[in-house]
Amino acid sequence: VIEGSTIGEVLAMTQWDKVELMRLLKTQVDTAIKTDRLKPNDAMKLLSDYERLLQEYTYLSLNGNKPAPQPGTFLPLSS
């Protein structure tokens, strides 16, 4: 069994700071907007999606159904 962790938590375990990752992405997005490689609306959606995904769990979903383990909850490695 493994404990449920969010993507952001897993990144932190591997020495990545999600705030720093967001800052780096925003810098790249700002550059892409200034050079007309990305529209502002698309940039905002990208940043929003990225931030949201950092809160998602690392588990795969089946048929669009996402498991919702709570911290401290254990799920089997296989069924």
Domain count, the chain: 1
Residue 70 lies in a domain: no
Residue 42 lies in a domain: yes
Q: pTM of this prediction? A: 0.64
Residue 21 belongs to domain spanning: 2-58
What DSSP designation does 62 have?
A: B
In angstroms, the CA 30 to CA 28 distance is 5
In angstroms, the CA 46 to CA 57 distance is 19
User: CA distances (Å), 10 to each of 4, 5, 22, 47, in order?
Assistant: 10, 6, 15, 19
pLDDT digits (tens, 9 = 90+) for 10-65: 888 889 888 999 999 999 999 999 999 999 999 999 999 999 988 888 776 666 56
In angstroms, the CA 10 to CA 47 distance is 19
